[in-house]
Structure 1
Amino acid sequence: MSLVEYEVNDRIAYLTLNRPDKRNALNSEMVAQLSESFKRASLDEAAKIIVLKANGKVFCAGADLGYLQQLQQNTFEENIADSTQLASLFEQIYMLNKVVIAQIHGHAIAGGCGLATLCDFSFAVPEANFGYTEVKIGFIPAIVSLFLIRKIGEGKARELLLSGELISAEQAQVYGLINYITEESELSLKVQEFARKLCHNNSAQSMGSTKKLMAHIQTMDLTNGLRFAARMNAETRESADCKKGIAAFLNKQEIQW
């Protein structure tokens, strides 16, 4: 059985976590399949937008605790390799050349909340809870912390990571952790409509370059950041999408993306 299902429909790639009996908990195999699926979607010319969703009642309950217990028998080097696998997945999603939308129909806890954190947009049902509960079991939210601080700021990140408390979808939206709240009966449709709007209205090249720009400039000082931004600005002017978009605008033509 595939732990991550892959489907493309109307230029939207759907990646579906498929371990419902374990609340879509993450283990090495699932992380590997997720990474392969995101790579497949990034290269798939039929897919412009990616939606991450899940089967079962829970979006993702985080790390498989049984699997974590087994890892305690590993050497330090083996645990470094396993942790690096998850770090690589998170970096892959963050740096991906395509927009990723999380469709969160149930709780997103610990590593599951980490997956939601990495997505560019997120839609959640009102009943979904969010949180990084690692400190409650003697673990730490190490990898996601880098991305969470970038997303919502250090103050709110400290509150969530150090308390380990769960928060509601409404509070997650206030914190900037998720974007939209919608009833479960409308969730799939709302995500689909939003993804289609991005497909129809926006240049894929421009969205990918904007993601790259935002990811890199945060690690640079002002001078180097401006230099990098200016270079990307100049490179984009030479792109086919920019030429097409400006020509269409000046000629008062509808742009077909």
Structure 2
Amino acid sequence: MLDNSLLIFIKKQRIAYITLNRPEKRNALNADLVAELSKVLNEIENDTEVSAVVLKGAGKAFCAGADLQYIQNLQNFSFEENVNDSNALKELFYKIYTFPKIIIASVHGAAIAGGCGLATLCDFSFAANNTKFCYSEVKIGFIPAIVSIFLARKIGEGKAKQLLLSAQTITADKALEYGLINGITTEANLEEEVESFALKLISETSLEAKMNTKKLLNSTWHLPIEEALNIAVKENAKARESADCKKGISSFLNKEKISW
């Protein structure tokens, strides 16, 4: 277990649980929290004991986005300094988006601005039924710059514009309808259901196959279809030679339970 005040990190049953731990600030993001989260993800990426990650928030909210006091301080910085700070957030978001292992967001209370972005970036997101979601940046004259790139890809330009330009607050039901999240439960059952989903995913699917599928999706979505298909053909062929594929097909044909 790691508890450095900004993050709580524990490993259990091949799941890494990362808890944003600034409850007094509703887990708002600042430079230190961004750096710590990036550091822990780097460690988990190469940890053979971890097959999935759960990201959650301490206290009454998942994440309230950027720490506005911190943003106000940055207004006195040079353009180059602000570019460097923004780049650190970009690197974190890109790391979550392209992370080889499955990342699941466990969202409760509120996911606001960049916090809503965190939930959007994860491979799966589950929310308590009383959670509120909002990309609120334009209400304060700010822009959801980095988040917008990922959101438009996830739910489409039209819905992304509706959320980003109106800064409307939506319910968990609406977030599910828009494709922002994958499921809803009560706050009391959220932790249990997320853990159950993660364990099922770990036990029933190959880690190697999931990692290669994510890599393929992330590397081909922007390519012309013929180029993307040519890459997919090669990945298909490589997968047939993998130990996991040989094990999976053999177990299936022999009617044996596959243990991943």
Q: Which residue of 1 aligns with 2:182?
A: 179
Given candidates 37, 40, 43, the residue that maps to 2:43 is: 40
SS in 1 for 2:11: strand
Determine helix, strand or coil for the equivalent of 2:64: coil
Match of 1:75 in 2: 78
Q: Deviations over 1:197-238 (max 9, x none)?
A: 001100001111111111121110111111111121122122
Q: Structure 1: which 4+ aligned runs deviate by more than 4 Å?
A: none
Unaligned ranges ≥5, structure 2: none
Task: Work out the CA distance in 1 between the residues paired with 2:18 and 2:234.
Answer: 34
Kindly indicate whether residue 38 of structure 2 is the aligned counterpart of residue 31 of structure 1: no
Look up the match of 2:55.
Answer: 52
Aligned to 1:87, which of 87, 90, 108?
90
Distance 2:13 2:198 in 1: 10
Runs of 5+ consecutive residues of structure 1 not aligned to the other structure: none
Return 212-221 or 197-206, whichever deviates more: 212-221
Q: Which amino acid aligns with 1:214?
A: L
Q: How far is 1:175 from its partner?
A: 0.3
How far apart are the structure 2 equivalents of 1:27 and 1:3?
10
**Post-superposition CA distance 1:55-92 (Å, at most 9, x none):** 11010000000000111111111111111100111110
CA RMSD of aligned residues (A): 0.9
Q: TM-score, normalised by structure 1?
A: 0.98
The answer to whether 1:222 aligns with 2:229 is: no
1:187 CA displacement: 0.7
DSSP-derived class of the 2:252 partner? helix
Q: Using the aligned pairs only, state the percent identity.
A: 55
Q: CA deviation at 1:4?
A: 1.4
Match of 1:6 in 2: 9
Which residue does 2:200 correspond to in 1? Answer: 197
Q: Does structure 1 residue 248 correspond to structure 2 residue 212?
A: no
TM-score, normalised via structure 2 length: 0.97
Report the alpha carbon displacement of residue 127 of structure 1 after superposing the two structures with TM. Answer: 1.0
Give the structure 2 partner of residue 160 of structure 1: 163
Q: Within 1, Cα distance between the matches of 2:10 and 2:49?
A: 10
CA–CA distance in structure 2, aligned partners of residues 245 and 40 of structure 1 = 29
